[in-house]
């Protein structure tokens, strides 16, 4: 099955967030496509910084098919009331590990269950975890880069 409706970046990000929200590790986590203004939840995950390239995949009479090669970032934000950055970072790491395992397990994405047909989906690139604290508690932001390839016909 190939994608026929054009770029898959947006539906892929939506499908992945919905799938992560169903994982037990994400119980109580606000999972949204993009950051939600005014969010009060102390644990959040969203996608951002999406970009893609279209590369010729095959030329046939009447139409050239493309591979969409793209990437985006999953953001994991954890706030704790304690002034313990390590605690916030540890909680963010648990979420990042669950997302990593989901993405790296082929059966989770090569069946079209994320709403798009993918050639590959993996975590690739530079991730990071940043910690900070103030008088109200600690915060950690984790960034997990996601890379994908999809055939567009």
103-139 per-position pLDDT tens digit: 999 888 877 888 888 989 999 999 999 999 888 889 9
12 — pLDDT class (breaks 50, 70, 90):
very high
For residue 98, the model assigns a pLDDT of: 97
For residue 109, the model assigns a pLDDT of: 83
For residue 4, pLDDT over 70 is answered with no
20 — pLDDT class (breaks 50, 70, 90):
very high
pLDDT tens figures, 39-77:
777 899 999 999 999 888 776 666 778 889 999 999 999
5 — pLDDT class (breaks 50, 70, 90):
low
Task: Give the pTM.
Answer: 0.89
pLDDT tens figures, 81-107:
887 889 999 999 999 999 999 999 988
The residue ranges of every structural domain in the chain are 9-125+132-152
Residue 82 backbone phi and psi in degrees, to 5: -80, 150
Query: Which helix (H) or strand (E) is 54 found in, with range?
Result: strand 43-60
For residue 61, the model assigns a pLDDT of: 67
- Which CATH code of 3.40.50, 3.30.2000, 1.10.3470, 3.90.1200 fits the domain covering 9-125+132-152? 3.30.2000
- Give every CB contact of residue 140 below 8 A, 6+ residues apart in sequence: 76, 77, 78, 85, 88, 89, 91, 92, 129, 130, 131, 132
């Amino acid at each position: 099955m190939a994608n026929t409706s054009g770029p898959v970046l947006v539906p892929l990000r939506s499908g992945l967030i919905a799938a992560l929200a169903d994982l037990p590790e994400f119980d109580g986590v606000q999972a949204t496509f993009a950051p939600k203004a005014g969010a009060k939840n102390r644990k959040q995950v969203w996608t951002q910084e999406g970009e893609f390239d279209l590369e010729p995949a095959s030329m046939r009479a009447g139409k050239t098919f493309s591979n969409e090669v793209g990437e985006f970032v999953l953001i994991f934000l954890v706030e704790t009331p304690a002034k313990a950055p390590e605690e916030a970072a540890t909680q963010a790491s648990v979420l990042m590990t669950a997302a990593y395992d989901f993405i790296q397990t082929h059966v989770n994405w090569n069946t079209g269950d994320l709403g798009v047909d993918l050639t590959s989906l993996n975590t690739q690139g530079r991730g990071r975890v940043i910690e900070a604290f103030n008088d109200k508690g600690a915060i950690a932001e984790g960034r997990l880069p996601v890379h994908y390839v999809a055939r567009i016909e």
